[in-house]
Structure 1
C-alpha cells in the first residue's frame, strides 16, 4: 500500500421533499422527494466514480441515489436515517410552539429527547457503528471513493466529528442544503487504523446548480 494512497467518502443530502418545503419534522417518516422540485435543478454528474454507494433506507435517500448514480448497486442501511422525532413527526414549529416540552427541547436538543423519539446520542451511536463497518471496504485497494446518501443530521454529525482542525465547525454552523454534498479524504492506512480526522486541508461543498444560475 503506497504512502500517499488517498481515499474519499462523499456525504450527500437527499433531494427536497414536499414536507421539507412545509418545514415539517420528518426524521423517520418515509416520504418521496418532491418531483416538482426536480424541474428547478440540474441533476449533477458527479466527477468521481464510486466503487460503493450506501444510502439511508428511506425513500427520499434511495430515490436521490438513483438520480445521482443511475445503475449503481445501492446498499441501504437504516443506521443512516435522520433523528427520529417521535410524536413530533410531520409537525411544524407552529404546530408545536405552544408546548412547553417543545420549547425546552429547542433550548437543549442534544440533551433532551422528543416524546417517543430518539436521543441525539442514539443517532451518534448508530452512525458511528455504521462508520466502523464502512471503512472496512477500503481494505480492498481498488476501492477509492465511496458515496453516502443520507440526511442533514447524520451529515452534520460526521462533519463535526471528522473534519480537519482547520475547518472545524459546530453542528449548526455546517450548511447542509438538499442535493448538496461534502467530500472527506484520508490516507487509506490512517483511515483503516481509525483516524478521527480526515486529511483534507479544506472540506468543500458541492451542490446541484439551479436552472439559470
Structure 2
C-alpha cells in the first residue's frame, strides 16, 4: 500500500504573516504548480483525503475530479489562535518567547501546540492506513512534518530541520509489515517561509 502526501500550492498571503487554519486562497501560479504535482501521482488511486481549507480543497478537486474527496478536520494546519493573520514581527516578545523556547509543548494563545497537532494528525493517518488502500492526502506543511516524524520516530523539535517541505511537494509513503518508508517525489524549493519573528 502506498500513500501520496501532497502539500498545497503557494498561498496568497503576505510574507511574514502567521497563519495556520485561516482559510486563505492560492496564488495565480496554482495551475502551473498543480501540473508539476500531477506528474508524480499514479493512476488507480483508491481514496482521496484533504484538509477542508480552500488551499487544499481546491488542489484536491483539481487533481482528482473523478474521486469522492473525504475532507478531514484533523488534516488542517496547526491552529494559530490569537496569532492568526498577525505579522510575526508584531506579536509581543513576552507573548511569543515561551512558545519559541518550546514550540512543541507550549500552546499558541487560543490555539494549539505542536503536540496537539501531532496527536490528531497521527490518529487520522493511522486510521487511513488501516484501510490498506492506495491513498492521496492533500494537506499542510505541519501535518506532513508530523506524519514523517511519526513514521521515522524523529523528535518533534527536530522535524523542521529534518524535513524540508516546500509548497507543492509530493511524498510517497509505503506501508510494510514492520513499519513505513518514504520517498520525496517532488519538492521544488520556494521562497523561505517565516515561522517566527525575524528580529
TM-score by length of 1: 0.77
Residue 29 (structure 2) aligns with: 37
Task: Indicate the residue corresponding to 2:105 in structure 1.
Answer: 111
In structure 2, the residue matched to 1:61 is 56
Structure 1 residue ranges without an equivalent (≥5)? 1-6
Distance 1:28 1:42, change over 3 A: closer
Q: Is residue 15 of structure 2 the alignment partner of residue 22 of structure 1?
A: yes
Report Cα offsets for 1:37-59 as digits up to 9, x if no partner.
23654613244121111001111
1:146 positional shift: 0.6
Alignment check: 8 A CA contact 2:16 2:89 kept: no
Q: Secondary structure at the match of 2:130?
A: helix
The yes-or-no answer on 1:171 pairing with 2:159 is: yes
Over the aligned positions, Cα root-mean-square deviation in angstroms equals 2.4
SS at match of 1:137: coil
**Normalised TM-score (structure 2):** 0.82
String of CA shifts for 1:95-145, please: whole Å, max 9, x gaps: 22x42121221221112111111122221221122123212321xxxx3x2
Kindly indicate whether residue 29 of structure 2 is the aligned counterpart of residue 51 of structure 1.
no
**Structure 1: distance between partners of 2:153 and 2:93:** 39
Gaps of 5+ in 2: 191-199
1:132 aligns with one of 126, 130, 141? 126
- Alignment coverage as a number of residue pairs: 184
